Structure 1
Amino acid sequence: MSQQRQVLQQAGTVEANAVRFDAEKAEQVVEALNLDLAASVVRYHQLRKHNWNVAGPESRELAGFLGEAAAESERHADALARRVAEIGGVPLSGPAAFERHSPIPFEGEDVYDVRSSLANDLEAYGDSIESVSSHIELAESLGDHATGHLLRGHLADLERRASAIDGLLARTSLTDW
């Protein structure tokens, strides 16, 4: 294996880009998108953990819901990372960077009852909704309408999932779990 490595672009930098988005404006958008990327990855891992550990009479249905939500968070992360690269930035990578930059706090490794897990998921979605909403405004105020469009789609997904979790928490059957 070769020991020679050439850095093509340093993390935390923004370069000229093929979409011709101004590099100074792109720096602000890249910073915002990397926050949302980190949140998507942290949310993905939290949902996955809950999916793996769900138990109780409706565990099959809940595991399916949580698995779909995790897959959606992973798709969001991929789309956000691609957009960061398209506008000349470097997407965050690595667990420490994701945890450090995420507006969603890392839940930890402990396993919680279903109701507590879903409440934590709802809180994570709420944090993401607030972050993405403000980043839509930022991107569009800087003239990055493609990023605004991408984030609007993510916002709709986040709100739909938050609403579904809120509905699950309203069910009395979860008190038995």
Structure 2
Amino acid sequence: MSTQQSVRQRAGSVEGSDALRIDADRAEQLVDALNTDLAATYVLYHQLKKHHWNVEGAEFRDIHVFLGEAAEEAEEFADELAERAQALGGVPLSGGKNHEEHAPVEPEGDDVYDIRTSLKNDVELYGDIIETLREHIELAENLGDPTTAHMLRENLIEVEEAAHHVEHYLEDDSLVTE
């Protein structure tokens, strides 16, 4: 491990990007939005993984697989968000503590809940993220950054689809009898 320490860019700073023709003022707003989405996405990721690990019951297998795939999608989007923030001259948020502090969403508690309660909490979290993504798409468009708007829009489709699937799991129609 190197003993040399030189900071290349301070956390929280934004330089903008000459190559992308985005000045520091616009980049700062975009990176702030992307870091907010990054934080929210990691909160979602960890909550989905928690439910993936703890799901039980007659529909265990299907819900377990779904939650694992949904968590993978969240993790992939988090990577896209971080890479875009960096491309705009910013420093992506990192670390669980930073993510929770900067997220506009609240994760559920540490306890393990029944799967219906867990899924209701997931729908709530997805809904909050959907609203934030819509706001950030509009922000990116207004700031003249169609690339960021496009990336966020594509993910919004995935997030809405996942939320809709969770909503289906919560319906009262089931083949499982009590």
- TM-score, structure 2 normalization: 0.95
User: Amino acid of the residue matched to residue 2 of structure 2?
Assistant: S
Per-residue CA deviations over 1:71-105 (Å, capped at 9, x if unaligned) read 00001100000000000000000111100111121
How far is the alpha carbon of 1:176 from its aligned partner?
7.5
Alpha-carbon RMSD across the aligned residues, in angstroms, is 1.6
How far is the alpha carbon of 1:126 from its aligned partner?
0.1
Is residue 4 of structure 1 aligned with residue 4 of structure 2? yes
Rounded Cα–Cα distance in structure 1 between residues aligned with 2:175 and 2:73: 24
5 Å matches for 1:1-177? 1-17=1-17, 18-173=19-174
Rounded Cα–Cα distance in structure 1 between residues aligned with 2:120 and 2:16: 42
Where does structure 2 lack aligned partners over 5 or more consecutive residues? Answer: none
CA 1:58–1:37: 2 relative to 1, 3 Å: same
Is this contact kept in 2: 1:115–1:175, CA < 8 A? no
2:113 match: secondary structure: coil
Rounded Cα–Cα distance in structure 1 between residues aligned with 2:175 and 2:97: 34
1:30 match: secondary structure: helix
Rounded Cα–Cα distance in structure 2 between residues aligned with 1:164 and 1:134: 23
How far is the alpha carbon of 1:175 from its aligned partner?
9.1
Rounded Cα–Cα distance in structure 1 between residues aligned with 2:143 and 2:106: 28
User: Amino acid of the residue matched to residue 147 of structure 1?
Assistant: T
How far is the alpha carbon of 1:167 from its aligned partner?
1.2
How far is the alpha carbon of 1:139 from its aligned partner?
0.6
Which segment drifts farther, 161-170 or 141-150?
161-170
Is this contact kept in 2: 1:38–1:102, CA < 8 A? yes
How far is the alpha carbon of 1:172 from its aligned partner?
4.0
Rounded Cα–Cα distance in structure 2 between residues aligned with 1:154 and 1:113: 28
- TM-score, structure 1 normalization: 0.95
Rounded Cα–Cα distance in structure 2 between residues aligned with 1:11 and 1:31: 12
Rounded Cα–Cα distance in structure 1 between residues aligned with 2:42 and 2:92: 12
Rounded Cα–Cα distance in structure 2 between residues aligned with 1:176 and 1:30: 49
The alignment-based identity, stated in percent, is 54
CA 1:111–1:175: 2 relative to 1, 3 Å: farther
Rounded Cα–Cα distance in structure 1 between residues aligned with 2:163 and 2:16: 37
Rounded Cα–Cα distance in structure 1 between residues aligned with 2:111 and 2:2: 41
Is this contact kept in 2: 1:132–1:151, CA < 8 A? yes
CA 1:165–1:9: 2 relative to 1, 3 Å: same
